[in-house]
């Protein structure tokens, strides 16, 4: 069985594409100062959350290669971490789309770093609303999302809510 015929790997790739689409929508054209917005004492800023998501996808790539390597990086400028985020998604997606063996279970890869990133991407959406720059809701079932499309350039929304 090749990677592209492995339904678990394809679901992981579709999940990454979904993260790219939804998180990209949330982070695109964020209001000035959004990266440093803090909801309250002891909470992470959007910039800290974005850096953590980058760390999660780097960790996922290492896990997929059989290494349990966690190397958190401090937040950088917003644009730098945006680039890092999409690059980390692309690197993991490329590995999952290859014929290289997956050296951890797809289930563990999902339940660990990928599911954690989903949680944090939702937090970014909430923080953006609270910071005064809400993102329009959308029927994501109708969105054009495809495995392999994990960069910042995504299809336009098909069914946003008024």
pLDDT in tens, 71-81: 999 999 999 99
- Residue pair 63/112 in contact (Cβ under 8 Å)? The answer is yes
Full set of structural domains in the chain with CATH: 3-142 (1.20.120.450)
Per residue in 149-158, pLDDT (tens digit) is 999 999 999 9
- Mean pLDDT for the chain overall: 96
Neighbour count for residue 158 (Cβ, 10 Å)? 12
So what's the pLDDT on residue 3? 59
Q: Are 161 and 134 in contact (CB under 8 A)?
A: no
pLDDT at 4: 65
**pTM metric for this prediction:** 0.95
Measuring CA to CA, how many Å separate 93 from each of 3, 6, 26, 64, 141? 11, 14, 20, 11, 21
Contact 44/52 with Cβ under 8 angstroms? Answer: yes
In this predicted model, what pLDDT tens digit does every residue of 84-131 receive, in sequence order?
Answer: 999 999 999 999 999 999 999 999 999 999 999 999 999 999 999 999
Distance CA 57, CA 10 (A): 17
Average pLDDT over residues 140-157: 96
């Amino acid at each position: 069985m090749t990677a592209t015929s492995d339904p678990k790997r394809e679901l992981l790739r579709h999940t990454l594409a979904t993260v790219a689409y939804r998180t990209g929508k949330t982070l695109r054209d964020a209001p000035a100062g959004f990266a440093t917005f803090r909801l309250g004492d002891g909470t992470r800023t959007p910039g800290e959350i974005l850096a953590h998501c980058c760390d999660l996808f780097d960790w996922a790539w290492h896990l997929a290669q059989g290494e349990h390597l966690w190397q958190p990086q401090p937040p950088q400028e917003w644009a730098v971490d945006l680039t890092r985020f999409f690059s980390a998604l692309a690197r993991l997606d490329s590995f999952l789309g290859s014929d290289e063996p997956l050296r951890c279970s797809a289930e563990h890869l999902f339940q660990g770093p990928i599911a954690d990133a989903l949680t944090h991407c939702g937090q970014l959406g909430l923080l953006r609303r609270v910071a005064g720059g809400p993102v329009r809701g959308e029927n994501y079932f109708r969105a054009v999302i495809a495995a392999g499309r994990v960069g910042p350039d995504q299809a336009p929304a098909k069914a946003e809510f008024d």
